[in-house]
């Protein structure tokens, strides 16, 4: 069945196509009676606006691109919810792509989104991204770009982040405050800025409290695979190499839960033998036994904030106004639970 057009509605009501269009858009110069007749007939005939024609006329696709490293991740799923909650209010469709922590795939996905003429792009970088020419390509084409969580500081675009150094410092300081003296760190891959900053926050907390920094206590999750298995593997290695460790700050809750599982299997008591602080505040961190002390990372709020900033920049470009990149830093909170009880 062919889609109903404005012309068909106009012919049935014996009015102009312009009047039908105005009536559907609630223009004040169309009478209430005419608006009612037009809307009732449009509903009866199941009329749908031709969005392609509208987009050509307004030079807007009403779509944005979203690239994230992984979808099946508590933090990123909350970010997606936050973005969609705001995008729907503004009539935007969100094209969600997963880079799988691959720089090459991330580049292809940006080319795809640009070819689809999206109005703007939101991105959290893959761990392997070290060259940023594909990101500058977005900016060079006049498209707004907003990074969140995993960012590149040297790219001149807006960013929505947390203060990872401050949050990591807070987590490590908590371990020190409850009496830990030998504190290890399970960190992410070497490249992502948030992984670097969390490591630096951990290191600074040690030095500020006159505790020695020992690089052998820092375990890197290989290839940035922040997984349950990575946590188990690093915990097993730690027990073989450093039996005197009494505290660990871990880069992500899922890795922390993997480590806790390994400790439980080997008869290491938490927090009596070793105290643990995670990062993100996954749902699982509140139901595992013992419950996990963690840094609450506001994923939903980050998603909402990132879309709002992107929308402002889309509107600025449309209205030919200057678009000024800004960095928005959201607050974090330490959630104390059983894994660090005194």
Domain range list for the chain: 6-49, 59-161+299-331, 164-297+334-340
**pTM (two decimals):** 0.82
Q: How confident is the model at residue 178 (pLDDT cuts 50, 70, 90)?
A: very high
- Of 134 and 70, more confident: 134
Stretch 227-237: mean pLDDT? 93
As a whole number of angstroms, the distance between CA 290 and CA 342 comes to 13
Q: What is the pLDDT of residue 322?
A: 83
How far CA 326 is from CA of 41, 86, 87, 315, in Å, comes to 47, 19, 20, 16
- Least confident residue range of 23-27, 158-162, 207-211: 23-27
As a whole number of angstroms, the distance between CA 51 and CA 28 comes to 23
| Closest alpha carbon to 151 in 175, 170, 168, 126 | 126
164-297+334-340 adopts what CATH topology? Rossmann fold (3.40.50)
Stretch 119-134: mean pLDDT? 93
How far CA 309 is from CA of 13, 137, 158, 313, in Å, comes to 43, 19, 8, 6
Q: Do domains 59-161+299-331 and 164-297+334-340 have the same CATH topology?
A: yes
How far CA 163 is from CA of 10, 148, 166, 319, in Å, comes to 58, 12, 5, 33
As a whole number of angstroms, the distance between CA 270 and CA 292 comes to 10
Architecture of the domain defined by 59-161+299-331: 3-Layer(aba) Sandwich (3.40)
* 145's tokens: 């770009």
pLDDT above 70 for 57: no
- Least confident residue range of 29-33, 53-57, 178-182, 184-188: 53-57
As a whole number of angstroms, the distance between CA 99 and CA 70 comes to 7
Residue 26, SS3 per DSSP? coil
Q: How confident is the model at residue 224 (pLDDT cuts 50, 70, 90)?
A: low
Residues 6+ positions from 73 with CB-CB distance below 8 Å: 254
Share the mean pLDDT of the chain.
Answer: 92
């Amino acid at each position: 069945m062919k889609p109903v057009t404005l012309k068909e509605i106009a012919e049935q009501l014996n009015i102009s196509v312009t009047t039908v269009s105005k009536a559907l858009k609630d223009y004040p110069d169309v009478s209430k009676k005419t608006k009612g007749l037009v809307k009732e007939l449009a509903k009866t005939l199941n009329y749908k606006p031709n969005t392609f024609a509208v987009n050509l006329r307004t030079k807007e696709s009403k779509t944005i691109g979203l690239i994230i490293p992984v979808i099946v991740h508590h933090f990123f799923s909350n970010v997606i919810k936050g973005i969609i909650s705001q995008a729907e209010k503004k009539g935007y469709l969100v094209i969600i792509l997963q880079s799988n922590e691959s720089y090459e795939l991330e580049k292809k996905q940006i080319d795809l989104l640009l070819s689809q003429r999206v109005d703007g792009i939101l991105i959290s970088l893959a761990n392997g991204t070290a060259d940023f020419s594909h990101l500058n390509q977005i900016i060079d084409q006049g498209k707004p770009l907003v990074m969140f969580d995993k960012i590149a500081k040297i790219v001149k675009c807006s960013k929505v982040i947390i203060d990872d150094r401050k949050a990591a410092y807070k987590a490590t300081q908590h371990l020190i405050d409850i009496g830990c003296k030998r504190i290890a760190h399970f960190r992410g891959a070497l490249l992502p800025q948030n992984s670097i900053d969390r490591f630096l926050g951990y290191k600074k907390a040690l030095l500020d409290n006159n505790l020695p920094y020992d690089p052998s206590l820092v375990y890197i999750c290989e290839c940035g695979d922040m997984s349950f298995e990575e946590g188990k593997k690093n915990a097993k290695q730690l027990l073989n190499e450093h039996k005197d460790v009494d505290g660990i700050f871990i880069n992500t809750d899922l890795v922390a839960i993997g480590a806790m599982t390994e400790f439980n299997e080997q008869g290491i008591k938490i927090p009596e033998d070793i105290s643990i602080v995670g990062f993100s505040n996954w749902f699982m961190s509140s139901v595992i036994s013992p419950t996990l002390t963690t840094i609450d990372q506001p994923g939903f709020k980050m998603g909402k904030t990132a879309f709002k900033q992107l929308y402002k920049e889309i509107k600025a470009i449309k209205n030919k106004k200057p678009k000024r990149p800004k960095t928005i830093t959201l607050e974090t909170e330490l959630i104390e639970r059983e894994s660090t009880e005194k």
